[in-house]
C-alpha cells in the first residue's frame, strides 16, 4: 500500500484557522462552550459549520485549541518574552488587571469557560486544572524569591497566598462583568493583591480572634 501523500497546508490556511479561533473565543465567551453553536462561529468567519469541522475535527478539539491559542498570543503580546520573576511578577499581575479592563470579551471568556469546565466531562477541564497549577507555581516561585531576600520562609503561607491572589483576580472579574459600575476591576485587584502579599511577607495576627 502506497503511503498516501500529505500536502502541506496552503499559505492562507494558518491565518484562516486563527480567524476561526478568535471567533470561537468570542462566541464561547458570550454564550458559553456548550451553548455556543459552531454555526455562529462559522458565520462570523464566512463559512459553514462543516468547514470548521474540516479544520478542527470536532467541537471539543476546537475548544482545546482555542484555549491554547489564547495562551500563546498572550505571551507574544508581552514586551519581554521571559516570565517575570520576583517582585516583577506581582507588578505584572496588576498591570494585567489594568489591561483587562479594556478587553471584557477575553475576561468573560475565561470567567465563563473556567467555571463551566468544572461540570461533568467538560473538554476544557484538563486545561484549566493545569493552568491553575502552573500559575500558582509561578506565584509561589515569585514569593520564594522575595522571601529569600527578606530571610523568611513559610511554604504553607506562600501556597495560600498564591491561590488567593489568583482567586481574587478571577472573582473580581465575575463581579465586574455582572456590573462594571459597581466594581473597579483594576484598582480593587491591586488593593487585594497587595493586601495578600503583605500578609504573606510579614504576617500580622488575625483581627477576628477573641479580643
Residues in the site for DNA, rule: CB under 7 A? 4-11, 13, 16, 35-39, 42, 46-51, 53-55, 58-60
Of 62 and 196, which CB lies nearer to DNA in the complex structure?
62
Rounded Cα distance, 88 and 69, in Å:
25
Residue 94 binds a second copy (CB under 8 A): yes
Q: Is 130 left (phi over 0), alpha (psi -120 to 50) or beta?
A: alpha
Of 33 and 176, which CB lies nearer to DNA in the complex structure?
33
Residue 120 binds a second copy (CB under 8 A): yes
Residue 58 binds a second copy (CB under 8 A): no
Q: Is 165 exposed, middle or buried (0-12, 13-18, 19+ CB in 10 A)?
A: buried
Output the smallest distance, CB 61 to a second copy, in A.
19
Output the smallest distance, CB 12 to DNA, in A.
7
CB-based burial, 186-196: b 16+ in 10 Å, e otherwise: bebbbebbeeb
Q: Residue 100: name its binding partner from DNA, a second copy, none (Cβ under 5 to 8 Å by kind).
A: none
Q: Is 101 left (phi over 0), alpha (psi -120 to 50) or beta?
A: alpha
Q: Residue 51: name its binding partner from a second copy, DNA, none (Cβ under 5 to 8 Å by kind).
A: DNA
Output the smallest distance, CB 79 to a second copy, in A.
18
Of 56 and 176, which CB lies nearer to DNA in the complex structure?
56
Rounded Cα distance, 117 and 114, in Å:
5
Residue (of 105, 102, 81) closest to 92 by Cα position: 81
Q: Is 149 exposed, middle or buried (0-12, 13-18, 19+ CB in 10 A)?
A: exposed
One residue of 53, 87, 106, 140 binding a second copy per CB under 8 A: 87
Rounded Cα distance, 11 and 15, in Å:
8
Q: Residue 54: name its binding partner from DNA, a second copy, none (Cβ under 5 to 8 Å by kind).
A: DNA
Residue 154 binds a second copy (CB under 8 A): no
Q: Residue 11: name its binding partner from a second copy, DNA, none (Cβ under 5 to 8 Å by kind).
A: DNA
Amino acid at each position: 500500500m502506497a503511503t498516501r501523500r500529505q500536502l502541506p497546508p496552503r499559505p492562507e490556511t494558518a491565518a484562516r484557522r486563527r480567524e476561526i479561533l478568535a471567533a470561537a473565543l468570542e462566541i464561547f465567551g458570550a454564550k458559553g462552550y456548550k451553548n455556543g453553536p459552531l454555526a455562529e462561529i462559522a458565520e462570523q468567519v464566512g463559512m459553514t459549520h462543516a468547514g470548521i469541522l474540516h479544520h478542527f475535527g470536532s467541537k471539543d478539539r476546537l475548544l482545546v485549541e482555542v484555549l491554547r491559542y489564547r495562551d500563546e498570543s498572550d505571551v507574544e503580546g508581552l514586551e519581554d518574552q521571559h516570565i517575570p520573576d520576583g517582585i516583577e511578577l506581582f507588578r505584572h499581575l496588576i498591570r494585567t488587571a489594568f489591561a483587562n479592563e479594556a478587553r471584557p470579551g477575553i475576561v468573560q471568556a475565561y470567567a465563563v469557560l473556567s467555571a463551566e469546565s468544572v461540570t461533568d466531562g467538560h473538554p476544557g477541564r484538563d486545561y484549566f486544572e493545569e493552568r491553575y497549577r502552573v500559575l500558582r507555581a509561578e506565584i509561589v516561585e515569585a514569593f520564594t524569591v522575595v522571601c529569600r531576600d527578606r530571610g523568611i520562609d513559610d511554604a504553607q503561607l506562600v501556597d495560600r497566598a498564591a491561590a488567593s491572589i489568583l482567586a481574587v483576580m478571577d472573582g473580581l472579574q465575575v463581579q465586574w462583568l455582572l456590573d462594571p459600575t459597581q466594581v473597579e476591576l483594576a484598582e480593587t485587584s491591586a488593593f487585594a493583591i497587595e493586601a495578600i502579599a503583605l500578609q504573606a511577607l510579614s504576617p500580622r495576627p488575625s483581627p477576628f480572634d477573641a479580643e
